[in-house]
Structure 1
Amino acid sequence: MNRQAPRRLLDLACQSLLRDEASAIAAVEWLPMELFPPLFTAALAGRHNKVLKAMVQAWPFPCLPLGALINHRQPYHDILRAALDGLDALLAQETRPRRWKLQFLNLQKRAHQEFWIVWAGTSADVCSLLEPDAPQPMRKRGIVDSLRSGPNIPWAPVELLVDLCLKRGVLDESLSYIIKKVSERRGLLHLCCKKLKVYAVSKRNINILDMVQLDSVQDLEVNCTWKLSTLRKFAPYLGQMCNLRRFLLSHVFTSFHTTLEQEEQCVSLVTSQFLSLSHLQELYLDDISFIKGHLDQILSCLKTPLETLSITNCMLLESDLRHLSEHQNVSQLKVLSFRRLNLTNISSGPLQFLLERASPTLQDLDLDECGIMDSQFMDLLPALSHCTQLMTLSFCENPISMTVLEHLLRHTIGLSKLNCVLYAAPLESYEERSSTIHLGRLAQVHAMLKHMLQELGRPSMVWFCAYPCPHCGYRTFYNPNPIL
């Protein structure tokens, strides 16, 4: 007969205290700080919102990672409202309570989860787990901090850390309430956002952006079908995100009614914002019409070397690739993706030079669906063989022959870190009449590659052939039989 483990005395004490909410609220001011996390989680589980409100007003740590406690089974809005109401009532007072140290209310769902795990039954230095991971530099607090021992202590701004997704339609209830409280307590509540996604530039979304501490944004995705003129309206906000690390810009097109002069003005305004992005490490450009002929203009505004560069579904000139290969900010690339760039009629020289420059650091290379021909691929092989840090190489759906595939294997066999290659089915694997893949021939190709890997002492290197399924269009991997 199985017996349940006895409940801990701490859990029993929390449950006993919560049976009388009035007593629990009165006791909050005098509780040892070690009891705050377990009592907070117990109050949250029992939906004691009045107790939660009181605990926020006496929180003895610099950060309250509320978002890490939220899951789909709990009433998120009620919990959030209780926390914000407690904070709002506190900020309405002239001075703060004796023990209150809250500087950051973190609403990100995956932030500081280890803090609550520690208090589930193990011991650790809890304060070290609550060091705020907010972007730097944040608001200056030196003068305020020096006054905290006095009786009438002025308020320092409290940072609300939340990931934002601005799209069309009605705001969800929780975000609306956050915006309301920030608007009411301007100067005392700062809306900070580490991850920002923008799907629409409406008047409402612009008003929200005006409330955000834009220097807190580290990860930005602008992912919508915009005209270049719409992106121009957003550009000044981009320029204020001086701590941006990752930027994805997708689906921007130039209107037929836009004159060449207007386009140049818009591109100049947008690209000049990159001058402020002195911490940018990852840049993703997907389906951007204005990039053709303007890539050098973007690159010249970058102040620091990129670690990731992804240019996909775009049209480029050979001069764009030449400028790219010569630019100083691509010499330390770790990830390079040119997926669905049409390189068929472009000289392989610029790409070869780019690979040579990035060879000491490059770890992932994606050349899928670029229309690369045999002669171009042969030109790239010497540069590829010098990419000593390369771990993954993908060049699916390019019209190459078995001969090139064999040469590629022999040129990359010495790359000790290369463990995964996604290769295009060679031309010899296709049916001559229907131009569809012949699985028997493909199996023979894979068997031959596997045999060569064993002979050359690299049997653990994995080679997968990727080919679109003729029925659903999704990519299927063969090793040598279909596995996905």
Structure 2
Amino acid sequence: MFKKMDQKPTGTLLELAAKSLLSNELAALHALDELPRDLFVPLFVPAFLGRHKEILKAMAPKTEALRLKAGPGLSMLQFLDARCIDHLQVDLCHLRDVNTLVAQTAHLYSLHLSNIRFTCFEQRHFQAFLHCLGKLDSLQELDLSALYLRDRLHRLLRVLPPQIETLNLSFCGLSYKDITILSQSSQATHLKQLNLNHNQVFSEAYEPFQTLLQRASGTLKHLEINNCLLTDSTLSVLLPALSHCLCLRVLSFAFNPITMPVLMSVLQHLTSLMELKHVIYPVPLHCYRQWDVPGSLDRQQLAEVQAQLKAMLQAVQRDDMLWTTHSV
């Protein structure tokens, strides 16, 4: 009778390569000058866990991009010269930990925060965060996905560089006041990428959003407004402003309750935007037995919608424009 052997995962090829490299510290130190920068971050964690202090010290000045999570990642900071980092992504941390880290940086170009724990009762941490941001004169990309900012956006925009190009405010609980402030901000005329997904406010905030589109029309290239409660009437009002965004390359407005006639109107307005190559649109309401309910989608109806849109694009010779959808 044979005894079943335990099967242990062998790890990814990248993990195995890092382990092999770290097994010979002298060779690893010599290899750092030839190692691609993209491999520095994956090498940091095994080097830290294996207590390869000399390798960590040698890597620190060469590291420009860093992604950290709560636990071992925070850290590694004792070996890292944060002034060398220009791209930083932090996940699953408390805002106070983010403040400690960002305060050490000086030349951040890109800051991405995700699932940062923060409550409205911790104003001192938010104020410290704003203080840190106010010192990042080189910041061009800011991702604050899921950081609750309701009625606080004016404080954030006040400290951000006016030339910031990328702003991700998805799942931030934005209010009518926030959209109004954003539309009037100095940043609005410089934005190239804007993500407002999952802020269900546009049924009441279409006027300031219309102003925002008008002010961003000369620079905006990538716009995401998925699941924002955009209705037929709201989208129809926004179409003239949207059709003047001549730089727009990607538009995503999926998971909004739109009917087929309005969707066709959107296509007719947007085909004149020659830079626009990819549109992610919502499945029209008539394709659902009950909108936004999993399993209620009529695939045959959706196929007919897709065929009709394709025919419309061919009729105006815009085969270069890709229209796709995310179905519920």
TM-score normalised according to structure 1 size: 0.58
Separation of aligned partners in 2, 1:221 and 1:361: 25
* Alignment-derived partner of residue 266 in structure 1: 125
Equivalent in 79, 83, 91 of residue 211 of structure 1: 79
Greater relative contact order (CA < 8 Å, ≥ 6 in sequence)? 2
Separation of aligned partners in 2, 1:236 and 1:174: 20
Equivalent in 441, 444, 455 of residue 315 of structure 2: 455
* Shift, 1:235, TM fit: 1.0
Separation of aligned partners in 1, 2:133 and 2:43: 22
* Shift, 1:201, TM fit: 5.7
* Shift, 1:300, TM fit: 1.0
* Secondary structure at the counterpart of residue 312 of structure 2: helix
**Mapping for residues 352-371 of structure 1, pairs under 5 Å:** 352-371=210-229
Equivalent in 45, 48, 53 of residue 179 of structure 1: 53
CA pair 398-70 structure 1, distance change in 2 beyond 3 A: closer
**Aligned residues with identical type, % of pairs:** 29
1:464 aligns to 2:324 (yes or no)? yes
* Deviations 1:408-460 (CA, angstroms, capped at 9, x unpaired): 11111110111221111111222369882222222222222222223323233
* Alignment-derived partner of residue 297 in structure 1: 155
Equivalent in 122, 137, 140 of residue 281 of structure 1: 140
* Alignment-derived partner of residue 134 in structure 1: none
**Mapping for residues 104-143 of structure 1, pairs under 5 Å:** 105=33, 107-108=35-36, 110=38
Equivalent in 92, 95, 101 of residue 237 of structure 1: 101
* Secondary structure at the counterpart of residue 403 of structure 1: helix
* Shift, 1:305, TM fit: 1.2
* Secondary structure at the counterpart of residue 205 of structure 1: coil
Asked whether the equivalents of residues 87 and 111 of structure 2 are also in contact (C-alpha less than 8 Å), the reply is: yes
* Alignment-derived partner of residue 11 in structure 2: none
Equivalent in 233, 249, 260 of residue 113 of structure 2: 249
Which structure is larger by alpha-carbon Rg, 1 or 2? 1
Separation of aligned partners in 2, 1:437 and 1:464: 16
* Alignment-derived partner of residue 440 in structure 1: 300
CA pair 105-178 structure 1, distance change in 2 beyond 3 A: farther
Asked whether the equivalents of residues 203 and 234 of structure 2 are also in contact (C-alpha less than 8 Å), the reply is: no
Q: Structure 1 unaligned segments of length 5 or more: list them.
A: 1-68, 88-103, 112-161, 469-484
- One-letter code aligned to 1:196: L
* Shift, 1:190, TM fit: 5.7
Asked whether the equivalents of residues 214 and 241 of structure 1 are also in contact (C-alpha less than 8 Å), the reply is: yes
* Shift, 1:165, TM fit: 8.4
1:313 aligns to 2:171 (yes or no)? yes
- One-letter code aligned to 1:465: T
Q: Structure 2 unaligned segments of length 5 or more: list them.
A: 1-13
Separation of aligned partners in 2, 1:75 and 1:164: 13
* Secondary structure at the counterpart of residue 342 of structure 1: coil
* Structural RMSD (CA): 3.1
* Alignment-derived partner of residue 70 in structure 2: 200
Asked whether the equivalents of residues 239 and 277 of structure 1 are also in contact (C-alpha less than 8 Å), the reply is: no
1:429 aligns to 2:303 (yes or no)? no
Asked whether the equivalents of residues 60 and 80 of structure 2 are also in contact (C-alpha less than 8 Å), the reply is: yes
Identify, as 1 or 2, the structure richer in strand.
1
**Mapping for residues 43-122 of structure 1, pairs under 5 Å:** 72=17, 75-84=20-29, 105=33, 107-108=35-36, 110=38
Asked whether the equivalents of residues 19 and 46 of structure 2 are also in contact (C-alpha less than 8 Å), the reply is: no
* Shift, 1:349, TM fit: 1.4
Equivalent in 148, 160, 163 of residue 41 of structure 2: 163
Asked whether the equivalents of residues 222 and 249 of structure 1 are also in contact (C-alpha less than 8 Å), the reply is: yes
Separation of aligned partners in 1, 2:169 and 2:252: 15
CA pair 269-441 structure 1, distance change in 2 beyond 3 A: same
TM-score normalised according to structure 2 size: 0.84
Separation of aligned partners in 2, 1:218 and 1:334: 19
Separation of aligned partners in 2, 1:463 and 1:311: 24
1:405 aligns to 2:273 (yes or no)? no
- One-letter code aligned to 1:286: S
CA pair 181-72 structure 1, distance change in 2 beyond 3 A: closer
Separation of aligned partners in 2, 1:252 and 1:456: 46
1:418 aligns to 2:276 (yes or no)? yes
* Alignment-derived partner of residue 221 in structure 1: 89
Asked whether the equivalents of residues 165 and 197 of structure 1 are also in contact (C-alpha less than 8 Å), the reply is: no
Asked whether the equivalents of residues 227 and 256 of structure 2 are also in contact (C-alpha less than 8 Å), the reply is: yes
Asked whether the equivalents of residues 95 and 126 of structure 2 are also in contact (C-alpha less than 8 Å), the reply is: no
* Shift, 1:372, TM fit: 1.2
CA pair 268-222 structure 1, distance change in 2 beyond 3 A: same
* Secondary structure at the counterpart of residue 388 of structure 1: coil
- One-letter code aligned to 1:363: K
Separation of aligned partners in 2, 1:220 and 1:441: 44
Asked whether the equivalents of residues 218 and 243 of structure 1 are also in contact (C-alpha less than 8 Å), the reply is: yes
